[in-house]
Structure 1
Amino acid sequence: MKNFQFIFLGTGAADWAYHPQGDLKFDRGSKLRRTSSLWINGHILIDPAPEAFFFAKNVLKLDLSQLTDIFLTHSHEDHFDREALSNFILEAEGKVHFFCHESMVPYLQLDKETLYRTELRPLKVQKPVMLDELQVMPLAANHEVAMVMEAPLHYEFELGGERILYGCDGGWFLAGTWSYLMGRDLDAVILDATVGDYADDFRIASHNTLPMIRMLLPAMKRNHVLKENGSVILSHFARTLHDSIEETEVKLKAEGMICAFDGMVL
């Protein structure tokens, strides 16, 4: 990927124990995943997860002062932590654009300091926003949330002719999202892999299983959703539904997929 740098601040689902002040950096010999969050191009954050700030600032030693934009996928507490959000925003040199689906706005409940340093930017599904030359397209995600009217989101990022999809949380693509993605020829996809090798797990309406992903990828390539040589990165792994981190990495590598880990840079 020429135009993007991704740093994974967390790659776990909600069943991993929270370690907001955990100073352990994940590596291949570790047993820890934090809840899912992503740092893009040194100034964009996807999801202020509970552990994301401490990990980014105190473990990875990232410069957060250039933070300009935060994109929220949905309201679940493993993705949206108000304290983490506030901490990220306080590190930024200027005001931060905070993007979320318009249905989330009444439920944000941000403190005054956070509101003062934030420019709220409500989103509509399939209505893109431009950040200079970067286009971000919010897409409806297939994921259950507590607030009936909330629309969880995936995000497609496009810059310099490269297109990347971030799809955590979410199961099988909704029809409208699939229709949009056909013909996009994505260079890479980061997909929810919450459920392991279980074909009959009840979570399939909100999350992907590995069998679902194996079925999905040929259709994505045939319908030009994903380039034939496009990268497939899996994230958002449940602790209780996968083999060990090391075994999962070996298995996915053999199938041509990348197993994301906390602190991974792409």
Structure 2
Amino acid sequence: MKPTLLGTGGSEGIPCIFCTCSVCERARSLGGHEIRSRSSLLLNDDTLVDFSPDLFYQSLQGKFNLNRLSALFLTHFHEDHVNVPEMESRLSALPALHSPVAVYCSPETAHQVQSLFKFYFNYGRPDARDYFERYKLTPLPLWQPMHANGFCVTPIQSSHHGYGVAALGYNYIFEKNGQRLLYAVDTGWYPDVSWDFLDGLPLDGVIMECTYGDYNLQPYSPEHLNLSNMLDMLHHLQDLGCITPKTPVFLTHLCHLHSMTHEETQEFLNRCGYSVQLGYDFMELPFFT
């Protein structure tokens, strides 16, 4: 299967369930690509990036299951990227799934996820069991390549904080079949150490967040990107020799502060000087085939 953007929305999704802003109301009315569930990337049927709180909905709409999942990469510990209670449902699978799922992430994220694993353990029951016993938390060191399910994966430092003290998240470089893909979600402008690592590293594709879209941000802001800062990121990647104007780039993780429709946004991107496509839920990507 091709890598698939399961969800392309920010933390609240579009439409936000509590919101009556013009963007959310328009999404309810128009549907289609205006609907954005929370962020997740299915690399293939056994490898997932982030465990969205909308995975149940995504599995229904996309007509897939995670029966073969064996590797889960987490970018950081925020509830729109790792829905720990839903992870418990793997124990309900029939036939039973006995093999563990390796959960790869930063040490800080592993600590936070483990704390919730413990929180949801029912200590009061005499037959209490660990509903997360078939997940194996595996902290990864930055910058060090590792191998999982045929991918060579290198975690790099983002500029986005998860919960916890100094808990900067991870972005990932995925390599397979002679192709190298940068997954830059969540992040703002990269710290110098990440730019230094990327310097001269050719990329065959980029998946990049654009949380704030046409909403104003200061240039080179950390945490998240808007359209202007996203283009600055691409310019710098080009200056470093990582991409060319023809390198395919896909945008994801948009929030409802972005005012343009999907079609209007793509029209803007068509004039930006790079090969940028606005991602949408269940969009298949041309990598690793």
Deviation at 1:147, TM superposition (A): 0.9
Deviations 1:93-128 (A, max 9, x none): 632111111122232122554431112211111122
Matched with 1:98 is 103
* Match for residue 260 of structure 2 among 243, 249, 253: 243
TM-score, L = length of structure 1: 0.86
Per-residue deviation at 1:71?
0.6
Aligned to 2:240: 223
Rg larger for: 2
Partner of 2:81: 79
Change (3 A) 1:145 1:134: closer
CA distance in 1, matches of 2:151, 2:171: 16
SS at match of 1:221: helix
Aligned equivalents of 1:93 and 1:138: distance in 2? 28
Q: Work out which of the residue numbers 40, 43, 59 in structure 2 matches 1:40.
A: 43
Which residue of 1 is the match for residue 12 of structure 2?
A: 15
What amino acid is aligned across from residue 39 of structure 2 in structure 1? Answer: S
Q: State the alpha-carbon separation in 1 of the partners of residues 12 and 63 from structure 2.
A: 26
Change (3 A) 1:61 1:29: closer
Distance 1:89 1:9 in 2: 23
Deviations along 1:33-57, whole A, 9 cap, x unmatched? 111111002211111111023312x
Q: Which residue of 2 aligns with 1:170?
A: 187
CA contact (8 A) 2:214 2:260 kept: no
Q: Corresponding residue for 1:59? A: 61
Instruction: Give the superposition deviation at 1:223.
Output: 1.4
* 2:48 is aligned with 1:31: no
1:253 corresponds to: 270
One-letter identity of the residue aligned with 1:95: P
- Cα distance in 2 for partners of 1:18, 1:9 equals 19
SS at match of 2:208: strand
- Provide the C-alpha distance between the structure 1 equivalents of 2:222 and 2:194, rounded to a whole number of angstroms: 15
SS at match of 1:226: coil
Q: Which whole-Å CA distance do the structure 2 matches of 1:262 and 1:235 have between them?
A: 9
Please tell me the residue identity of whatever aligns with 1:13. Answer: G
| Gap change, CA 1:146 and 1:134, over 3 Å in 2 | closer
Structure 1: stretches of 5+ with no match in the other structure: 20-26
Which aligned segments of 4 or more residues in structure 1 are displaced greater than 6 angstroms? none
Counterpart AA for 2:54 = E
CA contact (8 A) 1:234 1:257 kept: yes
- Alpha-carbon distance in structure 1 between the residues aligned to 2:219 and 2:199: 28
TM-superposed CA distance for 1:199, in Å, is 4.4
- Give the aligned residue type for 1:7: T
> Is contact 1:28–1:245 with CA below 8 Å preserved after alignment?
no
Structure 2 distance, partners of 1:241, 1:201, is 15
Whole-Å separation in 2 of the counterparts to 1:8 and 1:180:
26
Q: What amino acid maps onto 1:244 in structure 2?
A: T
The offset of 1:227, in angstroms, is 4.2
Q: Any idea what the Cα deviations from partners look like across 1:62-108, whole Å, max 9, x if unmatched?
A: 13211110011111111111123333576566321111111222321
Q: Tell me the equivalent position of 2:27.
A: none
2:138 aligned residue:
121
1:185-239: CA deviations, max 9, x gaps? 1001111101123444599321111111222222212311224531111111111
Q: Is 1:263 equivalent to 2:282 in the alignment?
A: yes
> Cα RMSD between the aligned structures?
2.6
Check if 1:146 corresponds to 2:163. Answer: yes
Partner of 1:69: 71
Amino acid at match of 2:11: A
Letter in 1 for 2:72: I
